[in-house]
Amino acid sequence: MANLVKLFLCALLLLLTSCNKDKTSSSNANNDSIKKYLALASNDTLAFDLRNQYNKKAFSLIDLSKNDTVTRFYLSENSRCYLRLSNWKELKKVSKLHFQKSIEKKDTLNLARYYRYKAGFFIKTLVNDSSFYYYLKAEKFYKSTNDEKGLAMVYLYKSDIQFRLDDYLGANLSAKKAYAYFKNTNEPRFQYDALTRIGNTNHTLRDYENAIKAFKIAIVIAKTNKLKEKSGSLIGSCLNNIGNAYREQKIYNKALYYFNLALKEKNLMENDPSLMGYLLNNLSDCKLHLKDYSGVPNLLIKSIDLLKNGEDIKESAISYIYLSNYYFAIDDTLKAQLYAQKALKIAKLSKAPYYYLTTLSNAGSVDSQRASKYIIEYHQKNDSLLFIERNARNQYYKIQFETDEISKEKETAIKQKWIIGSIAIVVILIIVLLLIITRQRSKQKELQFLQTQQKANEEIYDLMLSQKSVEEQARQTEKKRIALELHDGIMNKLASTRLNLFVLSQKTDAATIEKCLTYISGIHTIEQEIRNIAHDLNQNVFKESNSFSSLIKEFITEQNHTSKAKYVLELQQHINWNIISSEIKMNLYRILQEASHNINKYSKAKNVVVSIFLDNNSICMSITDDGVGFDTKTITNGIGIQNMQQRIQSLNGKININSIQKNSTCINLSVPI
């Protein structure tokens, strides 16, 4: 039967283990699937619809019943993929879940990610002020984490928003902060992005030297790490920017060098036709300034063809301006005015205000008859743009100011909480100290009372021992008296009777027999005397209950009546307690009292064995219980145990306390006699 039970338990254990393994393997497989689908959703080479499907599949595999770190990470990655796919409906649903779970667990890192992706949504929907607001929130949360890359990404995108809002110094500072973080990581692409933003902001601030320096470092990083853009030329873009920096400084020959160098980039036409259009425009402008008109019209017509679609169409207005300037330079006024009008029309249709202002300025310079009209329109448009810019900038500063105010209020609230908390802690500490002092005083009083009581008990015991000594002397005196009576009385009478009765062995006459009969009746008297002495001796034996051994026996009997544990006394016979000093007996008795008190109060023991025996010239006592035991390292400093040790030390004895927690305790001691 026992074997069957063992087999059943083993089988159950194996089943549970296999179930746990199945659950773990299932969980791992699920995580692997989520990672795989998220990776596919992030793959830019796949079609948008397919990537959306993969992202939905990844979301469907996330266990939303949980709210652990892994679940929140997957939700953040899911949000990031939907943001890149511009799937606003799904992004809103997933972001809401991500935010709720992050708030519930006070997950600072995932809250930072949530605000960063929310800011990204507003970037894509061209709501710059909201985007900037959420980047500020993300920045504050990231600063409370160890995610330096996440913080650097916030600085990078924040730089773009600041640039759009004409805060060029702020944009430059944010880009530099981003680069400082990326510089210490293996993220060459982000290093490149941060450097190009530093270059662009420096260019706008007319710090051309540092702008060129930043673009050159970006080129080195792109070449060293063989960075490639899906559609575009990273190196060509930096070369174009360097050329523009020299063009702004009117160093046209150097500008031409870098523009031509960019045009030599491999597969530029296929990879980045827009950049090629910009380069042809910039190259033509430099040639016009150098009065080198060779091939300029062809370059500009080719540029117009490259820039005629999409977002680039407004740049074709610049191509028409340069064509207008070219024909104006060769004194073909009609064509100059014609291309100036085309530039105006394209700029107006593309709704690009700054391009429209540029085309108005150019049209006024080549058409003297309409110049006044163009100038009036130019100023009206410029004032309108300045007003819009000012409002946008004010909105930006308002957001920053409000965010700073909220931060200050939060810091003030935190400081107030710290002050209130500190005061509360001090008050609590004072109360605790007062309670400790009160308790210590109470313990001291209790200890003094116990010491006084112990001293009184010792004095009582000394009196008992003295009384016992007196009783023992009386007993010895009585024994001597009985011995004398036996020797001097009964022995003499028996000897006399024996001698008188011996005559019967010699004579048997009637007179002799009658004489001897009186001695035979005297035997009855002797018998009565012996009975009286025996009776006295019997009474003395019972009176030995007052000896030390009897005192111990009475104590054990009392414990069996008063405590829940069963006490057993193992007392070695033939111990001569008379030769053992009262001091030893008193201390042994007190130790037994203290040990029994501790057993009854703390041990929960069922059985207690008290052994007293002689070992060579030492009296030994062992007290063993089957209780819960205690930790000898922490409880050996108790008053009771210290008293035991002090008593044994005063007798030059030894004491050893062994305890096994949840098992037993044994106290062994020996005292030389």
Q: In what order do the strands lie in the sheet with 566-571?
A: 566-571, 607-615, 618-625, 664-672, 654-660
What's the pLDDT score for residue 541?
A: 37
With a cut of 70, say whether residue 48 has pLDDT above it: yes
Q: Is the pTM of this model over 0.95?
A: no
Distance separating alpha carbons of residues 487 and 529, to the nearest angstrom:
12
* CATH of the structural domain 547-672, one choice from 3.20.20.110, 3.30.565.10, 3.60.60.10, 3.40.50.1980: 3.30.565.10
Query: Greater confidence, 646 or 460?
Result: 646
Q: What local confidence, expressed as pLDDT, does residue 510 receive?
A: 74
pLDDT digits (tens, 9 = 90+) for 568-599: 999 998 888 888 888 898 889 889 988 998 89
pLDDT at residue 485 greater than cutoff 60: no
Asked if residue 45 has pLDDT above 80, the reply is yes
* Residue with the larger pLDDT of the pair 516 and 388: 516
Residue 39 or 534, more confident:
39
- The tokens describing 621, both together, are 């006592």
**Contact yes or no for 604/627 (Cβ under 8 A):** yes
Q: What's 339-406 look like in SS3?
A: HHHHHHHHHHHCCCHHHHHHHHHHHHHHCCCCHHHHHHHHHHHHHHHHHHHHHHHHHHHHHHHHHHHH
Angle (CA) 630 633 639, round 5°:
75
pLDDT at residue 473 greater than cutoff 80: no
Can you tell me the mean pLDDT for 260-272? 88
Q: Please check whether residue 316 is in contact with residue 345, taking contact to mean a CB–CB distance below 8 angstroms.
A: no
Q: Which amino acid is at 75?
A: L
- Of the ranges 92-101, 110-119, 493-502, which one carries the lowest mean pLDDT score? 493-502
What is the model's pLDDT at position 280? 92
Give residue 377's pLDDT band: very low, low, confident or very high (50, 70, 90). low
Tokens linked to 81: 């993929």
Distance in angstroms (rounded) separating the CA atoms of residues 463 and 474: 16
Q: Are strands 607-615 and 664-672 parallel, antiparallel or unpaired?
A: unpaired
pLDDT band for position 53 (cuts 50, 70, 90): very high
Residue type (1 letter), 51? R
Q: How far is CA 434 from CA 310, 430, 438, in A?
A: 80, 6, 6
In which residue are the tokens 């601030």 written? 205
pLDDT of 4 higher than 60 = no
Residue 386 pLDDT class (50, 70, 90 cuts): very low
Q: Are 252 and 291 in contact (CB under 8 A)?
A: no
419 Cβ contact partners less than 8 Å away, ≥ 6 residues apart: none
pLDDT of residue 416: 76
Mean pLDDT of the chain: 81
Can you spell out the DSSP letters for 152-180?
HHHHHHHHHHHHHTT-HHHHHHHHHHHHH
- CB within 8 Å of 207: residues ≥ 6 apart: none
> Which residue bears the tokens 């051994």?
549
Classify residue 545 by its DSSP letter.
G
257 class by beta-carbon count within 10 Å (0-12 exposed, 13-18 middle, 19+ buried): middle
Inform me whether the pLDDT recorded for 368 exceeds 50: yes
Predicted confidence (pLDDT) at residue 153 exceeds the cutoff of 70: yes
User: Cβ(458)–Cβ(590) under 8 Å?
Assistant: yes
How many Cα atoms within 13 Å fall on the side-chain side of residue 162? 24
3-class secondary structure for 268-289?
HHHHCHHHHHHHHHHHHHHHHH
Q: Residue 384: what pLDDT? A: 54
CA distance 279 to 243: 9
Interacting residues of 281 by C-beta distance below 8 A, sequence separation 6+: 300, 303, 307, 315, 318, 319, 322
pLDDT tens digits along 186-208? 889 999 999 999 999 999 999 99
| pLDDT > 70: percent of the chain | 76
Question: With left for phi above 0 and alpha for psi between -120 and 50, is residue 601 left, alpha or beta?
Answer: alpha
Do 596 and 568 form a contact (C-beta atoms < 8 A)? Answer: no
Q: Please state, in angstroms and rounded to a whole number, the distance separating the CA atoms of residues 626 and 604.
A: 8
pLDDT tens digits along 68-84: 999 999 999 999 999 88
From 121-135, 243-257, 474-488, the region with the lowest mean pLDDT? 474-488
Q: How much is the CA Rg of the chain, to the nearest whole Å?
A: 55
219-232, pLDDT tens digit by residue?
A: 999 999 988 877 67
Contact 195, 217 (CB under 8 A): yes
Average pLDDT for residues 260-287, to the nearest whole number? 89
As a dihedral over the C-alpha atoms of residue 344, residue 350, residue 355, residue 360, rounded to 10 degrees, the angle is: 20
Provide the Cα torsion 82, 86, 90, 96; round to 10°. 80
